[in-house]
Amino acid sequence: MRRWLLVLPLSLCWTLAVATDAPRLFQQHCAACHGKDRLGGTGPALVPENLSRLDPAKAARVIDKGRAATQMPAFGDRLHAGEILALAHWIFTPPGRSLAWGTDAMGASHKVFRTPAQLPSAPVFKADPLNLFVVVESGDHHVTVLDGDRFEPLARLPTHRAVHGGPKFSPDGRFVYIASRDGWIQKLDLWSLQYVAEIRAGINTRNLAVSGDGRWVLVGNYLPHTLVVLDALDLRPVRVIPVRTGGKGSRVSAVYTAYPRHAFIAALKDIPEVWEIPYGGAQPPGGGIRRIHSDVFLDDFLFDPGYRHLLAASQDGRTEVIDLDSGKGIARLQLPGMPHLASGITWDYRGRPVIATPNLKQGVVSVIDTTTWQVIKRIPTLGPGFFMRSHEDTPYAWTDVFFGPDRDAIHVIDKATLKIVKTLRPAPGRTAAHVEFTRDGRYALVSVWAMDGALVVYDARTLKEVKRLPMVKPSGKYNVYNKITRSRGTSH
């Protein structure tokens, strides 16, 4: 009935849109979930800065039909087409004031569900607590906690909308911190399988990192331009660090923990700088920030195995190596397309540490010698890929082909020869992506990335399937032991 919504000329759409009182409609129908100020609540913020993945036509479709497996209902039976168009256009107009999310707003969202005294002194299950997997089911916004020996779910818990990036663990592996794109941070106790606390630390959040001493969580935001320090115990906000240099603000591309340096490292998207933020002193992190100049605007990075160097990529396709000790760029690499460094992994090849990275724009895995910073091999794949994984105790590195006709393929690469030895297709015709190993490296778990998807468990030696668990669009999965020991085969 409303197909015409999508085919109307833009000028007519706009006439319809302005003729309707969109702000009033918003307060009447949307504000309860998306916030009176459009900065979000249970639903995401509806301001242009937060809507880069939509356009007005797609937004109109969502308002009309709702969004499957979310709390977003269909408004097609309550609003006429002109009203839907008006709303869809209006949310793309600037809100007319600076977008702030300070400690008052954070404090109002902060909830502590359980104090340390209310948590059990031992796991409530018999499984190995260090061989659990936290599996993000992005289709209906849940995480499943999986026993990594029996491959049986122990619990399935709701998350906030659009969890993105790897959840991060406390150093002992008991707690996991989960970030959603809408700024929500949740702390989950894996021993009791219950949430401990939650807070909304930003309007649009990039990712989070946990300090090596387990005391602090640092949240990197796109919106507003802040880094937020939370107390890891109960997620209480303790410091907001404005991300500004010389009057210019920046989005945070990503923040990670550089463990041997006792510091967080944040890359900035709109200012050519990397920030080293030390922790471990008497005060919460945020003082004594070291600003390292970079020649490029950094979008994505990873550390070398010693955490001394940072390999970073910019949006314009340049890749730079920065020596964190001297604060200088020491090499430029010629990597085609757009390497996805956050998913890069490392291992030793012929006695030298190498970094291997998939590529979001080209069908290639690049292997880089970290002693010479030369690309020593370009392994052609069936298409651009998103994620890569291995383990110290497996001879293979696994990578997906996320884009294109072969998106159902997973390549298995021999780490000794740098050749693809097998291509698996866990569910022909459906996207297969993101691999993670059990703590002993014997099994590899792969996601079939679909609403009626699955987690497929492979024997990592024979490359044969051993189990398949139905899941709702599973995306990333994270093994406690591999994460807390910072396995070279996984992301940090």
Q: Any idea which residue has 């990873």 for tokens? A: 302
Residue closer to ligand DHE, measured from CB, 84 or 228: 228
Whole-angstrom distance, CA of residue 8 vs CA of residue 12: 7
491 contacts ligand DHE (rule: CB under 6 A): yes
Segment interacting with ligand DHE, rule: CB under 6 A, options 89-97, 159-167, 229-237, 450-458: 159-167
Q: Report residue 237 as tokens.
A: 């906000």
Select the residue interacting with ligand DHE from 39, 45, 203, 254 (CB under 6 A). 254
Site map 275..314 versus ligand DHE, x via CB under 6 A: -------------------------x--------------
CA distances to 78, 96, 420 from 395, rounded to whole Å, are 58, 56, 12
Segment interacting with ligand DHE, rule: CB under 6 A, options 158-166, 237-245, 277-285, 324-332: 158-166
Q: Which of 101, 51, 97, 269 is nearest to 201 (CA)?
A: 101
164 contacts ligand DHE (rule: CB under 6 A): yes
Q: How far is the CB of 165 from ligand DHE (least distance, A)?
A: 3
Segment interacting with ligand DHE, rule: CB under 6 A, options 61-69, 161-169, 391-399, 411-419: 161-169
Q: How far is the CB of 15 from ligand DHE (least distance, A)?
A: 33
Q: How far is the CB of 410 from ligand DHE (least distance, A)?
A: 14
Residue closer to ligand DHE, measured from CB, 314 or 475: 475
Residue closer to ligand DHE, measured from CB, 310 or 342: 342
Q: Which of 113, 114, 153, 126 is nearest to 137 (CA)?
A: 153
Select the residue interacting with ligand DHE from 170, 221, 370, 475 (CB under 6 A). 475
Provide the residue type at 66 as one letter: G
Rg (CA), the chain: 23
Q: Which of 99, 98, 63 is nearest to 204 (CA)?
A: 99
Select the residue interacting with ligand DHE from 20, 50, 131, 138 (CB under 6 A). 138
Q: How far is the CB of 173 from ligand DHE (least distance, A)?
A: 16
Q: How far is the CB of 213 from ligand DHE (least distance, A)?
A: 19
Residue closer to ligand DHE, measured from CB, 226 or 475: 475
Contact 363, 378 (CB under 8 A): no
Strand ranges (E), 304-373: 309-314, 319-323, 328-333, 345-349, 352-357, 364-369
Residue closer to ligand DHE, measured from CB, 192 or 211: 211
220 contacts ligand DHE (rule: CB under 6 A): no
Segment interacting with ligand DHE, rule: CB under 6 A, options 32-40, 66-74, 113-121, 163-171: 163-171
173 contacts ligand DHE (rule: CB under 6 A): no
Contact 347, 416 (CB under 8 A): no
Please write down the long-range contacts of 268-273, taking CB distance under 8 Å and 24 or more positions apart. Answer: 268/243, 268/297, 268/298, 269/222, 269/297, 269/298, 269/299, 269/315, 270/297, 271/243, 271/245, 271/297, 272/296, 272/297, 272/298, 273/245
Size of the site for ligand DHE (CB under 6 A): 14
426 contacts ligand DHE (rule: CB under 6 A): no
Whole-angstrom distance, CA of residue 271 vs CA of residue 227: 14
Whole-angstrom distance, CA of residue 182 vs CA of residue 101: 12
Q: How far is the CB of 262 from ligand DHE (least distance, A)?
A: 19
Q: Which of 350, 242, 341 is nearest to 300 (CA)?
A: 341
Whole-angstrom distance, CA of residue 179 vs CA of residue 442: 29
Segment interacting with ligand DHE, rule: CB under 6 A, options 11-19, 78-86, 160-168, 323-331: 160-168
386 contacts ligand DHE (rule: CB under 6 A): yes
Residue closer to ligand DHE, measured from CB, 79 or 460: 460
Select the residue interacting with ligand DHE from 144, 207, 346, 399 (CB under 6 A). 207
CB-nearest residue to ligand DHE: 166
Strand ranges (E), 334-464: 345-349, 352-357, 364-369, 374-380, 388-389, 396-400, 410-414, 419-424, 432-437, 443-448, 453-459
Residue closer to ligand DHE, measured from CB, 87 or 409: 409
Contact 456, 146 (CB under 8 A): no
CB burial of 481-492 (b: ≥16 within 10 Å; e: otherwise) equals bbbbeebbbbbb
Q: What are phi and psi of 480, to 5 degrees?
A: -55, -50
339 contacts ligand DHE (rule: CB under 6 A): no
Residue closer to ligand DHE, measured from CB, 179 or 241: 179
Segment interacting with ligand DHE, rule: CB under 6 A, options 89-97, 162-170, 290-298, 466-474: 162-170
Q: Report residue 290 as tokens.
A: 């070291």
Select the residue interacting with ligand DHE from 43, 166, 173, 237 (CB under 6 A). 166
Q: Any idea which residue has 């969890």 for tokens? A: 163
Select the residue interacting with ligand DHE from 176, 335, 342, 455 (CB under 6 A). 342
| Positions in the binding site for ligand DHE (CB under 6 A) | 138, 164-166, 207, 254, 300, 342, 386-387, 434, 475-476, 491
